[in-house]
Amino acid sequence: MTQLKNSDDNPLTSLIVLSKTAIFVIALYGFFLNLIWEFAHAGSLYDMWKKVDTSIGIFHIFIASVGDMIMVIAITNFSAKISQVFSISSVSAKFYFYMLFFGMVSGVVLEWSAKALNFWTYNELMPTLTILGEDVGLSPFLQMSTLPLLSVILSKKFHLSKN
């Protein structure tokens, strides 16, 4: 097995354009914002509580929030790479546009896939959009469209203004 001698040998290094501190802070905001959103809509818009024990449901929400956090990091890094932003202090309108665009695309693709694979079902209160024959929830679409962007904005405002 070949070991990487330094970070320049790692093909993933070229994909990460923001500092480790920026990624960490944005990830924390992403996790907690998504955790709040997941708890807020899980009880009222999904059928999960009819199918699983409360402790299992809470565990699923935590796991979903970790996945959401990973998406926040991916959307942020991809947007930074494409818009050539190498520091949170130098974000541009182009960066924010890509954040919103990739968040919206991710929201549709992830929710559509999860619904098509029957990972969960909505109750009658979930507003939906029909995409390729599958109902996609408006709440998770808005979640993935806005929370990555909000994570960056809050991180920049409160913790990363000099990075």
Between these two residues, 7 and 71, which has the higher pLDDT value? Answer: 71
CA distance 54 to 81: 40
> Does a structural domain hold residue 8?
no
The total number of structural domains that make up the chain: 1
Lowest mean pLDDT among 14-18, 78-82, 156-160: 14-18
Q: Is residue 94 part of a domain?
A: yes
CA distance 9 to 21: 22
Burial of residue 28 (number of CB atoms within 10 Å: 0-12, 13-18, 19+) = middle
Query: pLDDT tens digit string along 91-107?
Result: 889 999 999 999 999 99
| 148 in any annotated domain | yes
Token pair 């942020």: residue: 76
Q: What is the pLDDT of residue 32?
A: 98
Residue 127, domain extent: 14-158
Average pLDDT, the chain: 85
pLDDT per position as a tens digit, 60-117: 899 999 999 999 999 999 999 999 888 888 888 999 999 999 999 999 999 888 888 8
User: In this structure, is residue 5 part of a structural domain?
Assistant: no
Nearest to 119 by CA among 102, 101, 104, 134: 134
Residue 145 belongs to some domain of the structure = yes
Q: Is residue 55 part of a domain?
A: yes
pLDDT at 6: 42
All residues at 6 or more sequence positions from 163 whose CB lies less than 8 Å from its CB, including other chains: 19, 21, 22, 87, 88, 89
Rama region for 34: left / alpha / beta (φ>0; ψ in -120 to 50; rest):
alpha
**Does 108 reside within a domain?**
yes
Residue 4 pLDDT greater than 90, yes or no: no
